[in-house]
Amino acid sequence: MANTSTQNFLEIAEIREGVLVLKTGHIRSVLMVSSANFALKSQEEQEAIVSQFQNFLNSLDFPLQIVVQSRRLNITGYIESLKTLEANQQNQLLKEQTADYRTFVERLIKGGSIVAKNFFVVVPFSLAEVVGGVQKDTQQSKKTGKLSENQFQRMKNQLWQRLEFTALGLRRAGLQVVPLNSEELIELFWSSHHPKEAEVGYYPEIPPEILK
């Protein structure tokens, strides 16, 4: 997930069964949440979304963390495909249109990087919140610094209840929600610490009028 020196600074002890286990013994789960074209909604729709989201926040009895990840998109491959398309055009007018479009895209990206934004909600749970049956395990975990299987399963089950409650509240506000599994969590943290290597190739749709 990261090199050894980086791992020393991370609070994560392990990632298992779609759960982040912190070095403190607390656990976290992460929801990936869609964005909403709020500005394009009517006033009535905007008010409904705000009201639903407000009701959701007021219903929470546990903290949440909202994280926005900006990820640079690499458009180099797209520019090269336009150059190839331009070179292969037999119609002179289409060749000129392709060249103009390529120039437009190149000027556009000179103004700044193209960035994709991803939105996440982090749902927490701590060992202290588990009710009954873990006192002996708690003493053992303090000695070893690790959660026992009993502790982990109890905490995960209650975390999952919070996760479902959070997902339901966000869906009522018109958002799409997906919990991240272990592989997706590893990729998320890897990309956060390796932004250059994590650049995504971006291939927007080529205008149909230059494909004729």
DSSP string, 63-80: --EEEEEEEEEE-HHHHH
**pLDDT the model gives residue 78:** 81
- pLDDT number for residue 122: 96
> Which backbone phi and psi does 120 adopt, to 5 degrees?
-135, 150
Q: What is the pLDDT along the chain (212 residues), one digit of tens a residue?
A: 445 555 666 788 899 999 999 988 899 999 999 988 888 889 999 999 999 999 999 999 999 999 998 877 777 778 888 888 888 888 888 888 888 888 888 887 776 667 778 899 999 998 888 755 444 455 545 444 578 888 899 999 999 999 999 999 999 999 999 999 999 999 888 887 776 665 555 555 666 665 65
Question: What's the confidence (pLDDT) of residue 133?
Answer: 47
pLDDT of residue 209: 61
Tell me if residue 53 falls in helix, strand or coil: helix
Q: Positive or negative CA dihedral for 114, 74, 111, 209?
A: negative
User: What's the whole-model pTM score?
Assistant: 0.71
Please state, in angstroms and rounded to a whole number, the distance separating the CA atoms of residues 108 and 170: 35
CB burial class (10 A; 0-12, 13-18, 19+) of residue 191? middle
Q: What is the pLDDT of residue 4?
A: 56
What the block records as the tokens of 50 is 């705000």
Sequence letter at residue 163: L
Pairing of strands 200-201, 65-74: parallel
Q: Are 83 and 102 in contact (CB under 8 A)?
A: yes
Greatest alpha-carbon span in the chain: 80
Q: SS3 for 210? A: helix
**Dist CA 49 CA 175 (whole Å):** 9
Instruction: State both tokens at 82.
Output: 């336009």
Integer CA distances (angstroms), 75 to 108, 115, 184, 201, 207, in order? 11, 10, 24, 6, 16
| Residue 72 in tokens | 């640079």
Please tell me the distance from the alpha carbon of residue 21 to that of residue 144, in angstroms, as a whole number: 14
